[in-house]
Structure 1
Amino acid sequence: MSQKQLDQKFWQNFAKNHWEKKPLVLKNVKSGLLEMGDAEIFNLLVLYSDRCRELNDPTGFKFYIDGFKAEAEDVLQVLPEKEDTSLLGYHERMKSLFSDYCLVCDELLQVNGKKQHLLTEFTNELYRHVGFPNRFSEIGLYLGNYRKTPFGVHVDSCGVFSFPVVGVKRFRLWTSAYAKKNPALDRAFKYDKHKKASQLLEVKPGDISYWPSSAWHIAESDGSFSATWSLGVWVDQPHKELVAQSLNDLLDAKLGIAGARVTTPFKTLHEKSGEVTELPEAYEQSIALLKNLSTSELQETFLKSWMKHISLQGFKNIPRVNMKLSLKSKVRLRSEKSLILWQQSLTKKDKFFFSFGGVVVESSKAQGLLKLVKALNNGDTVVIGEFLKGAEAKQDLHALQSLTDAGALSTAK
């Protein structure tokens, strides 16, 4: 059987007929996201588990036993270990301890920037056809022999793509209209009388399933082991909230100390009749400030906010790096498809903004840094000191370090 290509025809059909409308199952799919096999994923799990044990912090992992969520200190005791040798080896160890368990890792790709591009290749095509998410997307790995999702029938605020790695995965779905008429479905584990009204999706390694954010759902199993990637695309943040966030940043800068006051002086609260006719002076000053805002200031505010938002590439988190820079450092982009974004200020021509991974830095008279960024974005390997020179070198190196901390660069040999 030939593999299903996720080509432009597919994405156009998906955006028109399925996105936020109805579920879909694709069999035998050709996608970079499916390149990671169970052995590689097990190694990632061990790597991340080792880091959690070293820090004594299981953040990114959740563990459920017979449907009950384990405490954080207990999670560290049940994470994968190198001695398990494989996902199935880990399963055998857990099966000897628990009859029904579920391990969730929401941060697995944080330890493997080299594989991040497989995810972005998929999401970039999705965003191109349905729009860039106003909140974010996140991917997690679910594994175990749990017979039902530990938190029962539920609905999320995200559309979900599932990619099985090991075993057969089954998802039972209900429409939002049916769930509204049958509120007992919420968090239910017993729902036999509602099965006729549901849709059952069944996928195995090499397949992909999707359901919209409105679908109530639960995963089902016969107790066999499975491991599945789950990509959630959150669609619960309207455009007006992005606008409000951008304006809030602007007001913080413009109002200064006055904007931080927690009481408002006044002359008269209201007339004897109860009518309110007078604004306090603080409001009058704010009105004057807003009236004096220029189009360039507003454009710059929104452009900088948009740049910060898209610098995360549509994700809640992206892989970070730990690397100390110097002028002698030889560096390149961590990924040729993950560019450092930049813009020139619309209000001060000698100021530039640079962004990566949700971090925005600014630098004045940054022609050297700009040339360096353009060279990196072009795919070049560079020695930092060949670009950052003179009086601005120190401030530009500091700005570049912030971008590096956010995951932009890697060392080059």
Structure 2
Amino acid sequence: MKSSKTSVSPLKPVLLDQKFWKNFAANYWEKKPLALKNVKSGLLEMSAAEIFDLLVLYSDRCRKLNDPEGFKFYIDGFKADADDVLQVLPVKSDKSLLGYHARMEAEFSDYCLVCDELLKVNLKKQHLLTDFTDELYHHVGFPNRFSEMGLYLGNYRKTPFGVHVDSCGVFSFPVAGTKTFRLWTPEFAEKHPDLDRAFKYDKYKKDSLVLEARPGDMTYWPSNAWHIAESDGSFSATWSLGVWVDQPHKNMFSDSLKDLLDSKLAKDALKPTTSFKTLHNKSGEVTELPSAYRDSMAVLQNLSALQLQEAFLKSWMKHISLQGFKTIPKVDLKITPKLNIKLRNNRALILWQQSLTDKKVFYFSFGGVLVESKSRGLLKLVTALNAGKTCLVGQFLKGLTAKKDLALLQKLVDAGSCS
């Protein structure tokens, strides 16, 4: 593969509309890289100042909890210990991304700060991400694992962990500075195993593809592309959206079935040893299953088609209620009958389904939390919220079941469904 720089430079902004996504799904998704100039996307509407405010907000929370979860910091390519990370996070007095960079550059000649899932601390900006992923999923399918959005910033000259391959397709959106990515095909990397985690690869540059992007641009590469980010040591900040594609449907299906069987099997199924009469006869032939296996088989054979369908439906609803993400922003809201509530995001509905086996309705919130109830009031409230209405809780949840219904609603709200 010849060394080159690939980009599309249209005279007008590239709209990520239905035509774009249809072409992307057919010709680029999990097939080949793409670089676009002057992209029109909500993700690119977030200013550097807004992103700095998010970083400080998240950093303050980490300092308060004395836990840098979600942050990683690299110095000259080496990952810092968790305790040290807390000491180098952005603070309000930095005033801006460049202000933070100036403070870090005074201490470190080569540094990289990574913040995974930064948008989970901001409810108002979350929709910018879901607007993008909703269109993507509609055209390429819903990820069986998840997507995650990270922010990479610093003056690091190369990705701290060298040339590597992920199990996710990656979209990158520079916020500040120029971002350069060097890519190799999986076939080339297989023939040259010394490329794995390499920092010195001059002899392989001629066989690479180079993507270059600046603020307002977008790049993409598939999950099998070996890659590394490069820099001349100038400051850059970049959003990176990884869509993980390493979980086949068969794993989803078997996990759902396992959850169902775990709920149906008798307590004997939890024993750490298995009783038996004989292991095998004198010739080595095994002729008999232990009773524990026979009992478990009976449970499996007695499952009805409706029970199986409902179990798989619950599993699917839980998965999609997270909107394809690993984490969802939480809310702190105490539910009372006098409170007016609405969906936090009108595109993130509270999912529900009438049980196929009894009179209950089961619900999944925006955060993957299951609630089951026979309350008609709760169902009416959920359908009204999903219709985009602002609802007075006490108008829906009343009577003898009000207290129980309030507790169930609180679980849905705690998971992030309403505000």
- Equivalent residue, structure 2, for 1:402: 411
* Structure 1 residue identity aligned to 2:184: W
Structure 1: gaps spanning 5 or more residues? none
**Which stretch of structure 1 is more off in the superposition, 154-163 or 354-363?**
354-363
- Equivalent residue, structure 2, for 1:259: 269
- Equivalent residue, structure 1, for 2:385: 376
- Equivalent residue, structure 2, for 1:132: 142
2:340 maps to which of 326, 330, 333 = 330
Which deviations, in whole Å up to 9, do the C-alpha atoms of 1:133-174 show, x marking residues without a partner?
000000000000000000000000000000000010000000
CA distance in 2, matches of 1:339, 1:264: 46
CA distance in 2, matches of 1:47, 1:184: 41
Q: Is the 8 A contact 1:34 1:163 kept in 2?
A: yes
Structure 2: gaps spanning 5 or more residues? 1-10
1:392 Cα deviation from its structure 2 partner: 2.1
1:272 Cα deviation from its structure 2 partner: 1.1
2:38 is the alignment partner of 1:28: yes
* Structure 1 residue identity aligned to 2:357: T
- Equivalent residue, structure 2, for 1:177: 187
CA distance in 2, matches of 1:104, 1:256: 46
**Which stretch of structure 1 is more off in the superposition, 280-289 or 212-221?**
280-289
2:291 maps to which of 281, 301, 311 = 281
2:362 maps to which of 353, 357, 360 = 353
- Equivalent residue, structure 1, for 2:304: 294
Q: Is the 8 A contact 2:349 2:366 kept in 1?
A: no
Q: Is the 8 A contact 1:309 1:358 kept in 2?
A: no
Which deviations, in whole Å up to 9, do the C-alpha atoms of 1:273-296 show, x marking residues without a partner?
111110011111111111111110
CA distance in 2, matches of 1:363, 1:119: 30
CA distance in 1, matches of 2:390, 2:28: 42
2:247 maps to which of 221, 226, 237 = 237
- Equivalent residue, structure 1, for 2:4: none
CA distance in 2, matches of 1:358, 1:295: 28
Mapping 1:161-200, distance limit 5 Å: 161-200=171-210
- Corresponding pairs, count: 409
1:358 Cα deviation from its structure 2 partner: 4.0
Which deviations, in whole Å up to 9, do the C-alpha atoms of 1:196-242 show, x marking residues without a partner?
11100000101100000000000000000000000000000010110
Paired residue secondary structure (2:268): helix
CA distance in 1, matches of 2:398, 2:346: 25
Which deviations, in whole Å up to 9, do the C-alpha atoms of 1:294-352 show, x marking residues without a partner?
1100110000100000000000111111122122221111111111101110000x211
Paired residue secondary structure (1:283): helix
Paired residue secondary structure (1:247): helix
Which deviations, in whole Å up to 9, do the C-alpha atoms of 1:69-112 show, x marking residues without a partner?
00000011101011111000100000001000000000311110
2:15 is the alignment partner of 1:11: no
* Structure 2 residue identity aligned to 1:43: D
Q: Is the 8 A contact 1:320 1:405 kept in 2?
A: yes
CA distance in 2, matches of 1:310, 1:259: 31
Paired residue secondary structure (2:53): helix
Paired residue secondary structure (1:318): coil
* Structure 2 residue identity aligned to 1:244: S
1:129 Cα deviation from its structure 2 partner: 0.6
CA RMSD of aligned residues (A): 0.9
Instruction: Please give the TM-score of this superposition, normalised by the length of structure 1.
Output: 0.98
CA distance in 2, matches of 1:307, 1:258: 30
CA distance in 2, matches of 1:34, 1:195: 30
CA distance in 1, matches of 2:126, 2:257: 32
1:261 Cα deviation from its structure 2 partner: 1.7
- Equivalent residue, structure 2, for 1:363: 372
CA distance in 2, matches of 1:83, 1:271: 78
CA distance in 2, matches of 1:367, 1:10: 43
- Equivalent residue, structure 1, for 2:95: 85
* Structure 1 residue identity aligned to 2:90: P
Q: Is the 8 A contact 1:161 1:209 kept in 2?
A: yes
* Structure 1 residue identity aligned to 2:83: E
